[in-house]
Structure 1
Amino acid sequence: MTPARPWLPLTAVAVTLVLWASAFVAIRHLAGDFRPGSLALGRLGTGAVCLSVVALRRRPQLVRPRRPDWWRFVAIGLLWYALYMVALNAGERRIDAGTSAMLIQLSPILIAVLAAVFLGERFTRFIVLGLALAFAGVVVISLANSDHGGHDVLGVLLCLVSAVAYAISLILQKPLMGRYASIQVTWMACTIGAIACLPFAGELVADVRAAPLSATLWVLYLGVFPTAIAFTTYGFALTHMSASSLGITTYLVPVITILLAWAWLGETPPGMAYLGGALALVGVAVARRR
């Protein structure tokens, strides 16, 4: 369906990409003030509250989840929100924001492989070739970070854990989108993720007390803007654009992240990481070819 103002979906896409890119930079900025678990709880707790307000305003769109679907909601909350956030936060304590964003963009190729295995979608030679190119790109990024001061391969592996958790979650979420409103799926999964991170509540309290007020405000920013608002604008764009066209735009996130990190933090990925990131993104593009 085309909206009355055709520029609205494009605006929603632009807002989503900038907010998601800013999240990588904000996480990197907060690495010295908040531990991975406490940052995840602060972000998810804030996002869950904001999404609850939106969900309650759209109460007529909400339906009682079917019993067989509950495990999917729980798995998405644990993987996409809890594990993804904690692993990414830990990874960005070791590698720069731009490299992290490039690694997360491996998710589409992982989704293609999982869809072929579990959803019966066609497993083509392009997926195999794309997987090989993407793996080579990851190896180059790992080598670049292992030789770069203050960085290590463990940070790369942690970001890959986030990418895998994200890919698995999207496969699990696909059947739910036909039965529930997107806001309900996002709200429930985010809330479950926040509950799963409650063991980090003590760390969060301690970090808030020790951190400057500006750092705490950035945690709230992560929960309100890249989490609650960005997922909402992404859902709006998805209702007016094809999923494939919208998916391609996410390849701009690493570019925006690198620019924001350079302007804000004064850091850029190691030189070889650009080559590895380009190789990985080429692999993703090849794997998505029909």
Structure 2
Amino acid sequence: MNTTRENGPAYLAAFLYAIIIGFSFLFVKMTVSTAHPLDVLAHRFALSFFAASIPVIFGWMPVRIKRKDLWPIVRLALLSPVLFFAFQAFGLMNASSSEAGIIQASVPVFTLLLASYFLKERSSGLQKVSLLISVAGVIFIFAMKGGSLLGSGNFQGISLLLLSALSFAGYSVLARPLTRTFKPMELTYITLGVGFILFNIMAVGRHSIDGSLNEFFQPLADIRYIGALLYLGILSTMVTTLLSSFALSRIEASKMSVFSNFCTLVSMAAGALFLNEQLRYYHVIGAVMIILGVLGTNFLGNKRGTIDSTKPTMSAEIVPTNKKTVDQG
């Protein structure tokens, strides 16, 4: 059984992950104002995949994945980075980085629901109440924006950000059993490779159809865009994927998801300080409700409802059926 001391590096990794992701909304907002979201994602994952390839090529971090083991990782990559970052980038075209951070705080709620279904976790009455508080926080923000929200692009942006949060929750649940079979760098490299291939095919395909392939490279002449891209490609894509894979190999998905709460505070502060985004009182109240709710969903349950990191209790739907997994049972 893992001790608190042994889990220390995992919690540190989760904390660093939260800080990096918290600031990432700021940089995504900067890039999508310069280039099309698909171009941003193509550039971002090209940079991150090439950076991740350096230690792999030189043998510093070997990746040994058999062909039969690729599908479970590819399925993981479709949730994050593909859907997670795609919904996030398009959502931020019509929503502020502060709102993105608030919506990100709903990840633990989605994680609890998905873990209950796929991992057969039980939730207590207090956890269910906490879940309702978190949902009420999101609804409160929507309601306080008034009727204009329902007919505006902002509603579309927030909806896409909610889908982004749901995608990452699915990733957290799906990644948990895979981290027992594959090394963090193996998961990171393959998922980044999937993102690199898909996003570049979509971006280049879009420009080829429009006859505007030269526009794909134009943003790369903007020094501010390059700076934001370096943060997103190296820290917020490659490093965070590695950190989350490492953390999920040591601690439960529900505990890892708690750190999404800290992302909210960082993103709200970053948006207010650097993008001059206005934080209204209902943003703060809604954020507090979400944070209190997600803390309750993770810490007010009984211990029997948590994931035992030493036992393979996952359903067969999400566990790769290969010899390495069977041996660990």
Tell me if both proteins adopt one fold, taking TM over 0.5 as the criterion: yes
What is the aligned partner in structure 2 of residue 51 from structure 1? Answer: 52
Q: Kindly indicate whether residue 236 of structure 2 is the aligned counterpart of residue 226 of structure 1.
A: yes
Higher helix share: 1
**Superposition pairs for residues 128-167 of structure 1, below 5 Å?**
128-145=128-145, 152-167=154-169
**Superposition pairs for residues 166-181 of structure 1, below 5 Å?**
166-181=168-183
**Superposition pairs for residues 69-148 of structure 1, below 5 Å?**
69-145=69-145
Change (3 A) 1:143 1:205: farther
Helix, strand or coil at the partner of 1:178: coil
The alignment's TM-score, normalised by the length of structure 2, stands at 0.75
Name the CA distance, whole Å, in 1 between partners of 2:61 and 2:83.
31
What is the aligned partner in structure 2 of residue 30 from structure 1? Answer: 31
Contact preservation (8 Å) 2:19, 2:266: yes
The alignment of Structure 1 onto Structure 2 pairs a total of residues equal to 287
Q: Kindly indicate whether residue 202 of structure 2 is the aligned counterpart of residue 199 of structure 1.
A: yes
AA matched with 1:191: G
Helix, strand or coil at the partner of 2:93: coil
Change (3 A) 1:181 1:106: same
**Superposition pairs for residues 56-67 of structure 1, below 5 Å?**
56-57=57-58, 62-65=63-66, 67=68
**Superposition pairs for residues 181-192 of structure 1, below 5 Å?**
181-192=183-194
Contact preservation (8 Å) 2:137, 2:290: yes
Tell me which of 274, 290, 306 is aligned to 1:264. Answer: 274
Q: 1:18, CA displacement in angstroms? A: 3.0
Larger Rg: 2
What is the aligned partner in structure 1 of residue 297 from structure 2? Answer: 287
Name the CA distance, whole Å, in 1 between partners of 2:187 and 2:120.
24
**Superposition pairs for residues 228-247 of structure 1, below 5 Å?**
228-233=238-243, 247=257
> What percentage of aligned pairs have identical amino acids?
19
Q: 1:31, CA displacement in angstroms? A: 2.5
Change (3 A) 1:281 1:65: farther
**Superposition pairs for residues 203-218 of structure 1, below 5 Å?**
203=207, 206-210=215-219, 212-218=222-228
AA matched with 1:179: T
Name the CA distance, whole Å, in 1 between partners of 2:145 and 2:66.
44
CA RMSD of aligned residues (A): 3.2
**Residues 232-241 or 198-207, more deviating:** 232-241
Contact preservation (8 Å) 1:107, 1:167: yes
Name the CA distance, whole Å, in 1 between partners of 2:257 and 2:241.
14
Unpaired segments of 5 or more residues in structure 1? Answer: none
Name the CA distance, whole Å, in 2 between partners of 1:271 and 1:78.
36
